[in-house]
Amino acid sequence: MSDTQAAPNDQSQHLREARHEYNNIAAIVSLTRSPAVLVQVRKLWDEFRQKYPDFTEDPDGLAEILDGENS
């Protein structure tokens, strides 16, 4: 496999991983409104955003839910 083939595959894998992690976080948020759980989910969300800064899809509005409650 050439480097030009590997780069898109790596990028595609990175995007799949980001979507998977995003979906996991979204599932937790959809199942709870417990303040204690949301504190932990906010930490996961912060880690996710640091790991995948180029992932801008947010169909579940997690940024609004998790960033908006950082008080």
- 19-65 pLDDT, tens digit per residue, is 999 999 999 999 998 999 999 999 999 999 999 999 999 999 999 99
Whole-number pLDDT of residue 9: 87
pTM of the predicted model, to two decimals? 0.81
| Per-domain residue ranges of the chain | 3-67
Count Cβ atoms within 10 A of the Cβ of residue 52 and give its class: 0-12 exposed, 13-18 middle, 19 or more buried. Answer: middle
Residue 1: pLDDT over 60: no
Count Cβ atoms within 10 A of the Cβ of residue 66 and give its class: 0-12 exposed, 13-18 middle, 19 or more buried. Answer: buried
Residue 5: pLDDT over 70: no
